[in-house]
Structure 1
């Protein structure tokens, strides 16, 4: 992991919502043999909603509300949950060569979060790392983080939270009722915090950036030097701008819109969810004669490789609907592929399947 070459800093001016996502994807996928490791700082110039790589947009986000209020909904390749974003967050994105970061995603989270925790503490905010990948201040969340692999690049992302609009965050989420939305809004207000909430007035951006970069240099043991985006990175960002704006990309990872219903004797479709330490796993399953005929996973977990949910879908089709048989197949997949899914083990996928396939007894 040790390396003495300088890290390139890309401290960008505010950019369009879609570009605030596509630019770090472009730098990641453009990373070549001679490319530098990069720390990117960027904020959007307008509000939007970002959803995680494995989420179903229609299930997690109130798409009609977002459309009516002009909030684009953009899928990212990084895991995690749906979040409302605006210019009050400074995104801090590490795009590094794999050999220059720890070998596991959990260890990469530890290193990356250490830089944010130290920054907040230097600013007078008593932040702590709450495993697996959150940052808390006295029991309130001040940020989450995510990770992805983009060809040669390992990417870790998060933000420095100057302020956060909890009311709009509650509005953009899909919830079962307005009463439930009120509870979400209150919970966000009670259990999230920001620099503004902790300090009264957030420090100037330049001061926060200087503190963060000094901390990163110390944590990584490397110098950080200002740089510029290359032409190939900008060209790839433009390609991703077009791709990320399509309905096909937004709906990728979806397919979880079928209701829980009995189709005919011996065939039923059900849905369920299981909360693992590493995130929520949603499952919809079709059962035919007590075997899984079809299964689809989504959720706000982090999974490397990104194909994990689809791989598990394929691994479980045809399996007898018995806990030990399901668990055997998932364990076999873990042993063959060695996926990195922090806080999500084989039994968590099985629990989601059983939640989806166990007939519910009416209250």
Structure 2
């Protein structure tokens, strides 16, 4: 992707360890370009803003010993196994508003085309080969640093992907494909000359890293930081499943920018808590947005005033203010539901 790139490997297939590793690198390596290539073994990785209970098939996941972990970026849930290769790219950014997915997916698309595939970027954050999804991506902004990471389905088990994920049917309303099995593809299927995953790993490392790639490793202090973060955050039930408290009102809608689910707790007509869930491609956690709504009247005009001036693109990706309001205050009114979490 660029010259003077630091290359790191996690040395692990534990999803909690790998996500902690990635976060520590983002926090500590604050300048220059960094590339990570890594794998998770049998895991469902859900987006930071997703409702975990809505995204996984619990019975299937438990029966097959599949780990469930939450990452620190937005986007949708993905299944990982050792037929999947993940990449993480970290670099400096001056203007968050000018960031596009295409500037980061383009080198990956070019790498796949270098193997003779008709790869293309598509939709919000996907890479397709012959109309089938082989990669999904997400991003996170931390100060002047951005993390862009993605999956690369090389030789994954499509039956496991379909069984582990509970896919929102609205994703397929405007698509000709009607199932996960028909929508996803493996890179190995499209190769003109067969190669193993280790061969693909080495090819991608050279293609993305360039000639100035410099292999490195974590310091001992950073390694200890990874172990603490793994134990305290990514292994913790609270981080993965405990983020869906009881709410009085809930509504969800799929917009062009992704699925948005809003849950609101209100007392005496005022919002006491709000949560935003979905597969929208946020750059930052929506906590400041949720905080801005606390104490506001649960009325469209008052919520609109609270939203005005907030950088919604950072918190909700391509979902706009009007769409937030239409989700919270649909024509038929917000849906009331009995507390279930």
Shorter-chain TM range is 0.7 to 0.9
Counterparts of 2:168 and 2:120 in 1: how far apart (Å)? 33
Contact 2:10 2:18 in 1 (8 A): no
Instruction: For residue 86 of structure 1, report the CA deviation from its aligned partner.
Output: 0.6
**Corresponding residue number in structure 2 for 1:311:** 288
SS at match of 1:169: helix
Show the 5 A alignment for 1:264-283: 269-283=248-262
TM-score of the aligned structures, taking structure 2 as reference length: 0.83
Instruction: For residue 291 of structure 1, report the CA deviation from its aligned partner.
Output: 5.5
**Corresponding residue number in structure 1 for 2:338:** none
Unmatched 5+ stretches in structure 1:
259-268
Query: Structure 1 residue 166 and structure 2 residue 153: aligned?
Result: no
Query: Structure 1 residue 156 and structure 2 residue 152: aligned?
Result: no
**Corresponding residue number in structure 2 for 1:83:** 78
Counterparts of 2:217 and 2:161 in 1: how far apart (Å)? 33
Counterparts of 2:256 and 2:313 in 1: how far apart (Å)? 19
Query: Structure 1 residue 130 and structure 2 residue 109: aligned?
Result: no
SS at match of 2:95: coil
Residue among 36, 49, 59 paired with 1:40: 36
Query: Structure 1 residue 114 and structure 2 residue 103: aligned?
Result: no
Contact 1:273 1:356 in 2 (8 A): no
SS at match of 2:99: helix
Further displaced range: 294-303 or 315-324: 315-324
Instruction: For residue 120 of structure 1, report the CA deviation from its aligned partner.
Output: 1.0
Instruction: For residue 53 of structure 1, report the CA deviation from its aligned partner.
Output: 0.8
**Corresponding residue number in structure 1 for 2:228:** 239
> 1:17-58, CA deviations, whole angstroms, 9 ceiling, x for partnerless residues?
3222221112112225xx6531011112x2111111111212
TM-score of the aligned structures, taking structure 1 as reference length: 0.78
SS at match of 1:193: coil
SS at match of 1:8: strand
Contact 2:266 2:272 in 1 (8 A): yes
Instruction: For residue 202 of structure 1, report the CA deviation from its aligned partner.
Output: 5.0
Query: Structure 1 residue 190 and structure 2 residue 182: aligned?
Result: yes
**Corresponding residue number in structure 2 for 1:344:** 319
User: Number of matched residues?
Assistant: 329
Residue among 58, 62, 87 paired with 2:57: 62
Contact 1:274 1:355 in 2 (8 A): no
Counterparts of 1:271 and 1:356 in 2: how far apart (Å)? 14
**Corresponding residue number in structure 1 for 2:276:** 297
SS at match of 2:179: helix
Change (3 A) 1:281 1:356: farther
Contact 2:35 2:209 in 1 (8 A): no
Show the 5 A alignment for 1:225-264: 225-243=214-232, 244-255=234-245, 258=247
Alpha-carbon RMSD across the aligned residues, in angstroms, is 3.3
Change (3 A) 1:338 1:124: closer
Contact 1:285 1:356 in 2 (8 A): no
Counterparts of 2:237 and 2:334 in 1: how far apart (Å)? 34
Instruction: For residue 317 of structure 1, report the CA deviation from its aligned partner.
Output: 3.9
**Corresponding residue number in structure 2 for 1:261:** none
Show the 5 A alignment for 1:16-55: 16-32=14-30, 37-44=33-40, 46-55=41-50
Counterparts of 1:13 and 1:152 in 2: how far apart (Å)? 28
Change (3 A) 1:292 1:228: closer
SS at match of 1:22: helix
> 1:201-253, CA deviations, whole angstroms, 9 ceiling, x for partnerless residues?
752334433443443356xxx72122223222211111122121111221353
Counterparts of 1:357 and 1:274 in 2: how far apart (Å)? 13
Change (3 A) 1:293 1:29: closer
